[in-house]
């Protein structure tokens, strides 16, 4: 349903972000997001033009998302699904997957060694670390802040808490109580406030969130290796999500690393539903591409 005319040239349309803040409508954000989702450039331009004609002053970014998603889905369901990555991450918790488990798997596919929910002794107290990650550049203490509500951000208390824990562990390492970490790392599925970014830059804390940092953002880490969560699949119903979670099948690539016969046995999902799920999964992350990126995927 149309939500109002695009204002004439020279006038600024303000859109309401999930946080409640207002910002000028930028069609380039729609264009880049749709292209990143793999939509054909010609289709993308049609979508952008359609959105331009339908936005009105004060429209929410969520309403714009729904318009773009529905337009893409009519002509290219796979790109529509990939376009819905941000919303798929909001569904992780209700589907039975923890964000730290998902992010640890993303890191492993980017050549990190990881340990989940490890309890370590600091100088003063014990700390349960969401993820301990290590690669050739160092060892990192990762704190994950997951939000399931659009518009929530990581704010100053989150980064201060993370750094305080890091300092206690650093002091603990000096007396041999725990291994030494090279830096703390704060990760979220949403965005960071400007205070978080300023403090992290000052204290050399790694940040990974939605759209930040531009070259190593959460969506970049996911999209560059086709590490989509199964919650991105529109063909999943509540029953199927539950059964996949119980079978520890968290990513689209996990589905495609099993034969249909194996999936039917370990999930109990009806064959007709499984056929739809696998068809969509293979469209989102084509088997021939996955096999090159992830040798364990064999179908």
pLDDT tens-place string over residues 53-82? 999 999 999 899 999 999 999 999 999 999
pLDDT band at 151 (very low <50, low <70, confident <90, very high): confident
Cα-flanking dihedrals φ and ψ of residue 42, to 5°?
A: -65, -40
The average pLDDT across 146-171 equals 95
Segments making up each domain of the chain, as ranges = 14-83, 120-222, 226-293
pLDDT at 6 (0 to 100)? 41
One of 1.10.150.20, 1.10.10.10, 3.40.50.720, 1.20.1260.10 is the CATH number of 226-293, namely 1.10.150.20
**Does residue 87 surpass a pLDDT of 80?**
yes
84/97 Cα distance (integer angstroms):
18
Predicted TM-score of the model (pTM): 0.89
pLDDT at 294 (0 to 100)? 78
What is the distance of C-alpha 228 from the center of its chain? 8
CB count in 10 Å sphere of residue 26: 11
3-state secondary structure of 97: coil
Tell me which of 205 and 4 has the higher pLDDT. Answer: 205
Strands 138-145 and 14-16: unpaired
pLDDT (tens digit, 9 = 90+) per residue, 235-258?
A: 999 999 999 999 999 999 999 999
Q: Does domain 120-222 have CATH number 1.25.10.10?
A: no
pLDDT at 101 (0 to 100)? 96
**Does residue 280 surpass a pLDDT of 80?**
yes
**Does residue 9 surpass a pLDDT of 60?**
no
CB count in 10 Å sphere of residue 282: 17
pLDDT band at 20 (very low <50, low <70, confident <90, very high): confident
């Amino acid at each position: 349903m149309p939500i109002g005319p695009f204002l004439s040239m020279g006038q600024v349309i303000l859109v309401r972000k999930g946080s409640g803040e207002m910002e000028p409508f930028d069609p380039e954000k729609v264009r880049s997001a749709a292209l990143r989702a793999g939509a054909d450039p010609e289709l993308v331009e049609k979508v952008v033009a359609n959105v331009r004609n339908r936005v009105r002053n004060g429209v929410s970014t969520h309403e714009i998302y729904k318009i773009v998603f529905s337009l893409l889905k009519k002509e290219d369901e796979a790109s529509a699904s990939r376009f819905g990555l941000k919303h798929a991450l909001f569904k992780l918790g209700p589907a039975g997957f923890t964000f730290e488990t998902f992010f640890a798997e993303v890191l492993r596919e980017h050549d990190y060694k990881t340990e989940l929910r490890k309890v370590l002794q600091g100088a003063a107290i014990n700390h349960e670390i969401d993820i301990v990650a290590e690669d050739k550049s160092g060892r990192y203490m990762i704190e994950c802040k997951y939000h399931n509500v659009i518009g929530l951000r990581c704010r100053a208390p989150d980064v201060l808490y993370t750094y305080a824990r890091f300092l206690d562990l650093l002091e603990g390492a000096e007396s041999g109580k725990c291994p030494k970490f090279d830096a703390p790392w704060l990760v979220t599925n949403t965005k960071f406030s400007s205070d978080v970014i300023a403090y992290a830059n000052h204290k050399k804390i790694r940040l990974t969130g939605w759209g930040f940092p531009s070259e190593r953002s959460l969506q970049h880490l996911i999209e560059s290796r086709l590490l989509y969560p199964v919650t991105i699949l529109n063909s999943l119903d509540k029953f199927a999500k539950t059964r996949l979670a119980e079978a520890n099948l968290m990513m689209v690539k996990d589905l495609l690393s099993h034969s249909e016969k194996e999936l039917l046995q370990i999930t109990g999902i009806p064959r007709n539903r499984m056929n739809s799920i696998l068809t969509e999964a293979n469209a989102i992350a084509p088997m021939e591409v996955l096999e090159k990126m992830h040798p364990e995927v064999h179908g």
